[in-house]
Amino acid sequence: MEFGYRIFDSYLINQIDLPLIQISVLRTCEADIQRVKILADLIRSAGKRFVIHPMDVNLSDTQKVVRERNLSQVKRFAELADLGLIIHDELLPDRQRLRGEWLENYRAGLAELEQICPVSIENARDSRNAPWFWQTLARQITFDIGHFESEGIDSLDLVNTLSPELIQKINFIHLHRSNGLKPNGLIDHWPLTPECRELKTLRKLAELKPDLKVILELDTAQDILESRRALRLESLL
C-alpha cells in the first residue's frame, strides 16, 4: 500500500512526509481552477504524486446548461491531474438511485472525463447502493470506509460480499473513522485509533488488493499524526 493525505490549500504539502496527496476541491469555479494549478505545481516541486478530487460535479443534472458548464470545469481539473480524478456517486433529486436520463447523463459525462484521465468513483452520496453504482458505471473505485460506517454499514462485512471484479477495480481508499458528530458537522472524518473497525477493513482490502493507494482524509496535521501512529501499531504502515 501507498499512503497519502488530502489538502485544500498549500499548508500541509511539505509538512507531512507521505508521497501522495489528494487535492480536494469544494467548488468548480474559475478561482478554484487557478488555485489547483498552483497547488499542482507546488506538489510536483515537492516530488510528490497527486490526484484531484472535485466534490461538486453533478454529471447527472438534467439541465443541459448546468450540466455542460459543470463538465467543462471538471474537464479542466482532469487536464491538470497527475494520477487522475476522484468523483462522487450521485442520486436523483428524490434520493433514489440514478435511472433513465440522469443515469445516461452521468455515463456520458464520465466517458468524456475518461478520455482525458483515469476517473475513480467514490461512495459518498449513496453508500447503500455503492456496489450497484460501481458495477453499473465504474472502471475504477474509491472505497470510502468511513462513509460506509457512518451509514450504519459494516464495511468489513461489505468487503466480504464484493465480487472479485469489483475488488480489482478499487485503486483508492479514503480512510477516516466514523465517531459521531464533529464541530464542523461531519460525522466520519475522525482520526484513526488502534483496533478501530476501519483498520480491520483496510487490512482485509490490502490482503485482497495489495497495490492500493490510501488517502488519510483528515483535517489537521495532528489528526494525521495520530492516525499514522494507529496504522503503525496495527502493522499497516
* pLDDT tens string 96-125: 999 999 999 999 999 999 999 999 999 999
Which comes out higher in pLDDT, residue 179 or 168?
168
- Give pLDDT, residue 28: 74
Share of the chain above pLDDT 70, in %: 100
Cα separation, 138 vs 170, whole angstroms:
10
- Give pLDDT, residue 197: 95
- Give pLDDT, residue 180: 79
Closest CA to 118 of 77, 175, 71: 77
**Secondary structure element (H or E) that encloses residue 49, with its range:** strand 49-54
Q: Stretch 126-139: mean pLDDT, rounded?
A: 97
- Give pLDDT, residue 27: 77
Whether the predicted pLDDT of 36 surpasses 80: yes
Number of domains the chain is built from:
1
C-alpha cell at 102: 440522469
Q: Is 124 helix (H, G, I), strand (E, B) or coil?
A: coil
User: Residue 140: which domain range?
Assistant: 2-233
On average, the pLDDT of the chain sits at 95
- Give pLDDT, residue 232: 96
Whether the predicted pLDDT of 184 surpasses 80: no
Lowest mean pLDDT among 20-34, 44-58, 126-140, 151-165: 20-34
Whether the predicted pLDDT of 181 surpasses 90: no
- Give pLDDT, residue 217: 97
Whether the predicted pLDDT of 216 surpasses 90: yes
Computed over its alpha carbons, how large is the radius of gyration of the chain?
17
- Give pLDDT, residue 187: 73
The answer to whether residues 75 and 116 touch, using CB atoms and an 8 Å cutoff, is: yes
Distances, alpha carbon 47 to alpha carbons 40, 66, 117, 141, in Å: 11, 37, 20, 25
Tell me which amino acid residue 230 is.
A
- Give pLDDT, residue 127: 96
Whether the predicted pLDDT of 30 surpasses 90: no
Mutual angle of helices 100-114 and 64-80, in 10-degree steps: 30
C-alpha cell at 151: 451509514
- Give pLDDT, residue 225: 97
Residue given cell 459521531 in the structure block: 180
- Give pLDDT, residue 179: 86
Q: Stretch 16-31: mean pLDDT, rounded?
A: 92
- Give pLDDT, residue 65: 95
Class of residue 69 by CB neighbours under 10 A (exposed 0-12, middle 13-18, buried 19+): middle
Instruction: Give the model confidence (pLDDT) of 185-202 as tens digits.
Output: 677 799 999 999 999 999
Which comes out higher in pLDDT, residue 37 or 182?
37
Residue 59 belongs to domain with CATH number: 3.20.20.150
Q: Stretch 47-62: mean pLDDT, rounded?
A: 96
